[in-house]
Amino acid sequence: MKHITLFILLCWSACTFAQNSAVFRIDSLPKQGIVLDKGWKWHAGDNPEWAKAEYDDAEWEGIDPTKEISDLPQLKNAEIGFFRLTVWVDSNVLNKILALKIWQTGASEIYLNGQLIHQLGRVSQNHNQEQTLLVQGTPYSILFTKAGQQTLAIRYSFTSKNILLKYRPVNYIAFKAVLGDLDAANQLYTEDKVFYTILSYYKFGILLFLGILHLLLFIMHPSKKANLFIALYAFFHSISFHIDNNVSTLPITGEKLYWYTHFNIVFIILNGIFSLLTIYAYLKIPKQKMFWLMTSLLVVAYPFCLSFPTFSIIFTAFIYSGLLAFEAFRLSLINYKQNQTGVKFITAGWLAYIIFMGLFYLMIFGFLPFNLVLSNLFANLGLLSVPVSYSLMLAVDFAKMNRELSAKLLEVEHLSSEKQQFLAAQNETLERQVSTRTTELKQSLETLKSTQAQLIQREKLASLGELTAGIAHEIQNPLNFVNNFAEVSNELVDEMTEEMHKGNQEEVQAIATDLKQNLQKINYHGKRASSIVKNMLEHSRTSSGQKEPTDLNALIDECLRLSYHGLRAQLRGFQADYALQLAENLPNIPTVSQDIGRVLLNLFNNAFYAVYEKKKQLAENQTETHFAVDFVPKVTVSSCKTETGIEIRVKDNGTGIPEALKTKVFQPFFTTKPTGEGTGLGLSLSYEIITKGHGGSLGIESSAGNGTTFIIELPFNTKPKT
């Protein structure tokens, strides 16, 4: 009986020991916390009952979830499942809010005794609905309210199509939990976060400062393109640093991690391109074969970097960076022999990059003992060494340029002081010469003005001379009437004397009446001749500039007849028709009639001369004799009232003006007439009288061989233009 009782006690003790060996005991909390790395069980599938404490997981598979997820193929194969851990909690840690620091690659729901206490991401076996959350030591709160055995269950998913498998090398822990003091965990987490944030912004600030500095230097000196390239290099490098900091310190979803990785690869590639361009621009050499080789390699390798994450690290960290370092050292060695000052900074920067990044990767891959502070120090020193060395290279070059400019400036100042007296003497001589020349120029200007006035007056007298025959013709008509009526009146006086002797009073009265009518006609035609002489004198007299209301139709009629008869007497064989199309009841507008008369006479003379020349040219050309017979020279003058003033058109069917000469007709001394037949001042004076003197416009419509039309527009309020 004793043996049976002893056997039963031994079996019970063994069962109790076996049962207790699967329970993770938490008697107290050491300062460093407790890593929950033993006693975990795993089962694939998804069942809400598995989160409850009373569920029996004795048949489940044992697992260590703190391994890297690449070493746990059952997780990827299962898509979704549960971790369970049975813990024994001592009364020492009851009713205290503890910290559960989590490292995770995937999505999870954390249950304590069947109650959901935290959700990290979104758990689902459907990869489209799953939201992976990458967590790196973030503390979450947990509270044990009772002593004894309790169950921690983790509902976990990491699908076979998870974005982390495709776009980033998955070397992260599947799930790791460390139980510790909440205040200490939060303090440590905050310190780490602040440390990484300060470090990130420190690097970001240095690179941003370098970028802005060199961009400003490029703006001030656009020829120094190296400043532009290093500015772009620093900007992209700063963004890459910022991305790495976000990935390292924040809980991040898989989708964001993909985009961060995607952009980071782009910025790393751009960094390399602008790094080489900086060297080429500084050394003032064309792009080398290595540049085009690396550019082609980037185009080919970029899709593989996105699709094969491991390849992206190997390519960017070793292949691409190695080629960059090789090209930088090659160019440094070639140009070092040519005593390029800044080449040593290129060599030193890339040498520091290789050394520090080499130490960093040796720690990361386990060839050297890992130290968080040293690894960050090596990485940051390595990544900053190249842009800082480039900046120092350009700074030394800039300082050298400043020294050279200062030396040249001193040389210029020295030369200036030596020649200052010579220049002062030369200045005095120049001042005397300028004063003499100025006096001579003033005298020349006065002579020129006097000559110009004389030329203008001669032009007026020349036009008057051309009209002498016309004026004589106009005076001859009223004189003929005066002579005829005087002879008739003389005969009437004789008849009246005879009748008076006869005493025939009625006949005497009739003869006296006729005699009075003849005297009135003699008086009228005498005044007509006097008016013609007066107008002639006004034309030759210098204008007073006083504007008076003018009957433009009457002025047009008088000037047209004067011009016609004048040219008939001057030009042999001249014959032309002219027509007046004058609008009735035109209002009188204020003008200087002498000046407007000169303009009209000039335009009429030019028109009659143009039709005369065309008639003569057609007659001289024997092949076009029939055209000469059919051609009828004609000048048409019209006037009309517009909304703003009065328009006068002088149209002829003469030779016309070629397009190339239309812009020159109003220039002084320009004429198409043969030498000696024109001064070239008529149209230029006419243009000034109409535009500046009366605020109007003088335009031209013409083409070679098709005649010309001059258009005068006079506003109702003819204010001169200033």
Question: Under CATH, which architecture does the 24-185 domain have?
Answer: Sandwich (2.60)
pLDDT of residue 14: 38
666-694 burial: b if 16+ Cβ within 10 Å, else e? beeeebbeeeeebbbbbbbbbbbbbbebb
Please, what is the Cα angle at 434 between 433 and 438, to 5 degrees? 120
Q: What are phi and psi of 149, to 5 degrees?
A: -75, 130
Nearest to 101 by CA among 152, 135, 64: 135
Q: Which amino acid does the sequence have at 414?
A: H
| Alpha-carbon span 673 to 250, nearest angstrom | 93
Residue 344, CA distances (Å) to 159, 285, 334, 396 in order: 52, 17, 12, 11
pLDDT of residue 652: 92
Beta bridge partners of residue 641, listed in sequence order: 646
405-425 burial: b if 16+ Cβ within 10 Å, else e? eeeeeeeeeeeeeeeeeeeee
Identify the DSSP state of 551. Answer: -
| Alpha-carbon span 363 to 700, nearest angstrom | 92
Per-domain residue ranges for the chain? 24-185, 189-404, 545-621+629-715
Under 8 Å CB-to-CB from 362, ≥6 apart: which residues? 368
pLDDT of residue 170: 45
Beta bridge partners of residue 122, listed in sequence order: 131
pLDDT of residue 292: 86
Nearest to 104 by CA among 168, 39, 203, 170: 170
Record the tokens describing residue 405, joined without a space. Answer: 């400019």
Q: State the DSSP string of 445-493.
A: HHHHHHHHHHHHHHHHHHHHHHTHHHHHHHHHHHHHHHHHHHHHHHHHH
Mind listing the pLDDT tens digit for each residue in 448-475?
A: 777 666 665 565 555 555 555 556 656 6
Q: Where are the alpha helices (DSSP H) in 22-167?
A: 73-78, 163-167
Cα 28 off chain centre by: 70
Q: In the chain, which residues have pLDDT < 70? A: 1-22, 163-171, 241-258, 306-310, 312-313, 337-341, 372, 451-477, 481, 485, 528-545, 622-629, 674-680, 718-722
Beta bridge partners of residue 177, listed in sequence order: 102
Q: Is the pTM of this model over 0.85?
A: no
Instruction: Assign domain 545-621+629-715 to its CATH superfamily.
Output: Histidine kinase-like ATPase, C-terminal domain (3.30.565.10)
Structural contact between residues 375 and 363, judged by C-beta atoms closer than 8 angstroms:
yes
Mind listing the pLDDT tens digit for each residue in 298-326?
A: 778 777 776 666 676 677 777 877 888 88
